[in-house]
Amino acid sequence: MELGNVTRVSEFLLLGLSEEPALQPLIFRLFLSMYLITLLGNLLIILAVTSDSHLHTPMYFFLSNLSLVDICFTSTTVPKILWNIQTQSRVITYEGCITQIHFFLLFAGLDNFLLTVMAYDRFVAICHPLHYMVIMNPRLCGLLVLVSWIISALHSLLESIMVLRLSFCPDLEIPHFFCELNQMVQLACSDTFLNNMVMYFGAVLLGGGPFVCILYSYSKIVSSICRMPSAQRKYKAFSTCVSHLSVVSFFYGTGVGVYLSSAVTQSSHSSATASVMYTVVTPMLNPFIYSLRNKDIKRALKRFFGMVAIKGPIVLGLKKCT
């Protein structure tokens, strides 16, 4: 590769999901509606957990953290594509691209680790119910979340630094709606062997490792449920895992789907379209999955909105009196 072909990068072009101008308003409305639903749904989960003392348990503590991470995860990509469509611009600065990669990997890793921690929580609750509150004490819960943040932050920082060492050719078009790490590495003119090794090892250790832990936890859970004498106890134990299993299936299923679609079709636009599932759709569906079958969440939300409805007229009455 000649040195003359290498340029100092100042910006990239995000090609998005489609280059058809007629489809841009539809894509804008679709992403905006999904983003608002994601924000509203996850904020309601956080409000329900924080406002109801009955939900101050390890399971709901992890759920509220997952909702916060889902909001941040979606916010790393969707606002930028909405801005680009609205301004009819595809430009993202070099610094903005690196920043987006860093936070995308950070919150994707946190999602992964929190789902693993939640699987461990269900394992302790079902396999060791008598020692649940002793094992899952506030200190351990806080430590698990803190370790998840530290590992995810170190991984995303390492990947970002590895991208900073790359030199890029004049062709700076990214066939995606956000700065995806693999697409960035493919645009580089310099040697990317070390970047690819770090990427693959990161995917295996930080992606495959937690998934194996989830499978192990549920193998123990299923074994414990099968030994329960009462059908009612079996149903109650299994029902506490349904929501988490659904979220895990969506998260890992869509991630594997993106990998398979890019491997089979070799189309970057197909991969970008498939990426919408785990970057936007999954965080949007999580609140619905956890609240539709969860009576505690529904009860907490009704109580919260009931308190707001009562306080509203009281405040208005006080203002009139003054």
- pLDDT confidence of residue 243: 86
> pLDDT for 71-130, tens place per residue?
999 999 999 999 999 998 899 999 999 999 999 999 999 999 999 999 999 999 999 999
Q: From 70, 277, 39, 84, select the one nearest 177 (Cα to Cα).
A: 84
Q: Are strands 91-93 and 11-14 parallel, antiparallel or unpaired?
A: antiparallel
Which of 78-92, 181-195, 293-307 is predicted least confidently?
A: 293-307
Helices marked H in 22-57 — which ranges? 24-51
CB burial class (10 A; 0-12, 13-18, 19+) of residue 284? buried
- pLDDT confidence of residue 209: 92
**Kindly report the CA angle at 240 between 235 and 243, in degrees rounded to 5?**
120
Q: Residue 22: pLDDT above 50?
A: yes
pTM for this entry: 0.89
Tokens representing residue 35 in the block: 């983003």
Tokens representing residue 304 in the block: 């919260």
Q: From 282, 214, 250, 247, select the one nearest 70 (Cα to Cα).
A: 282
Count of residues in the chain? 322
Instruction: For residues 273 and 102, give the distance between their C-alpha atoms in angstroms, rounded to a whole number.
Output: 21
Which residue reads 């960035």 in tokens? 184
Instruction: For residues 237 and 13, give the distance between their C-alpha atoms in angstroms, rounded to a whole number.
Output: 50
> pLDDT for 138-168, tens place per residue?
999 999 999 999 999 999 999 999 999 998 8
Domains of the chain: 8-295 (1.20.1070.10)
